[in-house]
Structure 1
Amino acid sequence: MEDFVHSQGVIWLPHILRRLSNRFVEACDQVFEEFGLIVPHNAVSVVHFLYAHGPQPVMAIAQATTQSHPLINSYVRTLKTLSVAQTHIDPADRRRTIVSLTDLGLEQARALLAARDAFVPAYRRLMGEADAEVFEGLWRLEAALRERPFAERVRAERVIKT
């Protein structure tokens, strides 16, 4: 049976990107335990960032990972529940929450780094098999969307057509 989304063309770009993301996420859910990982796939960047930079305010994590402050707060709550991270109020600015890794969090960060030895070649091999070296192109797309949001681009096309 023909893939309906594929048959519709580029209009479904967000859908196919979501499908691909879901496949990678499902794979992470399947294999993380094999690597001794309890960190949820969506919080991996937070753990890596804290491991690389030490304790950080929530806003700094959000800026560094280009994710929203509320989203980072939800990841931090999850990481705290798992005893991977801990928080304290910044004594210099009581409005700021500082996040740090616990001993378990440090172990998880090291396990995540070790998992790269399997994940990176698997991603590269997949891109090679599919003849789709998309990694750098995806970063360029993201940068272009930061420069000019997609909604603005759609509105401009609508004006051109009328």
Structure 2
Amino acid sequence: MDFFERTGKMAIGSRLRVLTETLTRDAASIYGLYGVDIKPKWFPVFYSLTDEQPKSVTVIAREIGQSHPSVSTIVKEMMKAELITEVDDKADRRCTLITLTEYGKSLSQELIAQLRDVERAVEQISSECDNDLWAAIADWEKALGRKSILERVREIKEQREHSEVEIVEYQPQYKKAF
């Protein structure tokens, strides 16, 4: 019996992780197919900078929905790969902005052309499916924005525990001897 059939919806995080790993592995192979030397985890940061507007790590993190520390780590890796560079913010000298290098700009032009192929492949997959995954993910994100799984589990646990409480009449045998 399949693990996810046995566990059901309670293993949604694990099942999504498996799907993410599959997509990430394919993404790495697709970059190789096109000769684009980037890592899949760099894509959101890289794509964010393709508009050629220098951005701070904070702005990028907010734009792509990742944490500041995660984006900082990716920025360091991408700097080592010479895809991006730091520039001073002319409006605020305390702030450092990130922008694509010339090499990064040339890769972005190649990548954007190839993304059309990826988009068509994703559309093919979507057309083969009964449900719209993209819309379902958006629905889940909205629902989780209203109330997290943790909050929901806490409420359910509390309701269950309260329903298990039984009030009984006092009897002398319940008296503790001190």
Is TM-score (shorter-chain normalized) higher than 0.5?
yes
The whole-number CA distance in structure 1 between the counterparts of 2:30 and 2:49 is: 23
Aligned equivalent of 2:171: none
Which moved further from structure 2: 126-135 or 69-78?
126-135
Mapping of residues 65-104 of structure 1, within 5 Å: 65-90=64-89, 92-104=91-103
Deviation at 1:53, TM superposition (A): 5.3
| Paired residues of 2:52 and 2:100 also in contact (CA < 8 A) | no
| Paired residues of 1:80 and 1:86 also in contact (CA < 8 A) | yes
Secondary structure of residue in 2 paired with 1:132: coil
Is 1:151 the counterpart of 2:153? The answer is: no
Residue segments in structure 2 that go unaligned for 5+ positions in a row: 162-178
Mapping of residues 100-139 of structure 1, within 5 Å: 100-139=99-138
Amino acid corresponding to residue 127 of structure 1 in structure 2? S
CA RMSD in angstroms comes to 1.6
| Paired residues of 1:84 and 1:104 also in contact (CA < 8 A) | yes
Determine which structure has more spread, i.e. the larger CA radius of gyration: 2
Secondary structure of residue in 1 paired with 2:38: coil
Aligned equivalent of 2:54: 55
Aligned length: 161
> TM-score of the superposition, structure 1-length normalised?
0.91
Residue segments in structure 1 that go unaligned for 5+ positions in a row: none
| Paired residues of 1:39 and 1:108 also in contact (CA < 8 A) | no
Which 4+ residue blocks in structure 1 deviate beyond 6 angstroms? none
| Paired residues of 1:36 and 1:111 also in contact (CA < 8 A) | no
Higher relative contact order (CA 8 A, sep 6+): 1
Deviation at 1:147, TM superposition (A): 2.7
Task: State the identity %.
Answer: 24
